[in-house]
């Protein structure tokens, strides 16, 4: 196995190392890890973080729109929206990325990634919003009718604020899941952090350092986010 890899490296990369050097190299090379870190952080900031943040914003807004449409549209149109959401939710994210990449070839990979991640996770968030909307007591709806409140004001002032309080944890979990799914961007040739880590480790077969660093970066970003979501949930519950 290792000889085959070395032959491939000999053709593809002149900076290859020989078999003896691989066997004698230490398990962990601090210098190699420190040298790899800047490029990985740059890819994290330029691609991974951008796709996650923008994709989450799209998913949060679009998911709410879908949930509201399912509630207010006539049954045939609501059924159509629900069918489309189910279709997107039940097909693999990787397949959606590849389909969009080859269908809209004039768009760059990062834009495709943002759109696909945003729409894909919007279908999940719409179910969270739907559950939150259905948790609003019937008496609240009846009260808005008795007060002659318009439909827009009812949703904006009564329904959505109450629904959001119970949806924050699940929405946050989906945002973190989207963050961890960004390595799938490799299928459309987007060099996000994990892809860059693999490219750095390939010439010398030193994958331990780069992938441990990638895991630590993911942890350093997702763990504080989870704590922030938990704190926000408690504040909303206290305010309620």
Specify the range with the lowest mean pLDDT, choosing from 65-74, 159-168, 202-211, 229-238. 229-238
pTM above 0.85, yes or no: no
Residue 84, token pair as written in the block: 């489309």
Mean pLDDT of 18-36: 73
For 110, what's the count of Cα atoms within 13 Å in the CB-facing half-sphere? 15
Mean pLDDT of 93-114: 94
Residue 102, token pair as written in the block: 């080859």
pLDDT band at 211 (very low <50, low <70, confident <90, very high): very high
Q: CATH 2.60.120.650: does it fit domain 57-183?
A: no
With a CB cutoff of 8 Å and minimum separation 6, the contacts of 188 are: 97, 98, 101, 109, 112, 113
Q: Cα–Cα–Cα angle for 190, 228, 39, nearest 5°?
A: 30
What is the location of CATH 1.10.3720.10 in the chain? 57-183
């Amino acid at each position: 196995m290792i000889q085959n890899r070395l032959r491939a490296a000999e053709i593809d990369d002149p900076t290859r190392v020989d078999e003896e050097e691989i066997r004698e190299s230490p398990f962990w090379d601090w210098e190699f890890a420190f040298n790899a870190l800047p490029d990985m952080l740059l890819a994290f900031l330029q691609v991974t973080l951008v796709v996650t943040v923008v994709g989450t914003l799209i998913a949060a807004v679009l998911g709410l729109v879908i949930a509201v449409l399912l509630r207010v549209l006539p049954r045939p149109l609501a059924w159509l929206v629900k069918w489309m959401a189910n279709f997107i939710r039940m097909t693999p994210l990787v397949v959606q990325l590849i389909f969009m990449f080859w269908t809209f070839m004039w768009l760059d990979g990062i834009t495709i990634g943002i759109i696909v991640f945003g729409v894909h996770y919007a279908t999940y968030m719409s179910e969270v919003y739907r559950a939150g909307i259905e948790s609003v007591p019937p008496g609240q709806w009846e009260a808005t009718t008795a007060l002659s409140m318009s439909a827009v004001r009812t949703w904006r002032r009564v329904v959505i604020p109450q629904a959001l309080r119970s949806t924050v944890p699940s929405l946050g979990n989906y945002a973190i899941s989207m963050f961890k799914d960004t390595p799938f961007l490799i299928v459309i040739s987007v060099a996000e952090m994990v892809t860059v880590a693999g490219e750095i480790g390939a010439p010398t077969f030193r994958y331990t350092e780069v992938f441990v660093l990638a895991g630590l970066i993911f942890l350093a970003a997702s763990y504080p986010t989870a704590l922030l979501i938990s704190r926000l949930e408690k504040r909303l519950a206290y305010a309620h």
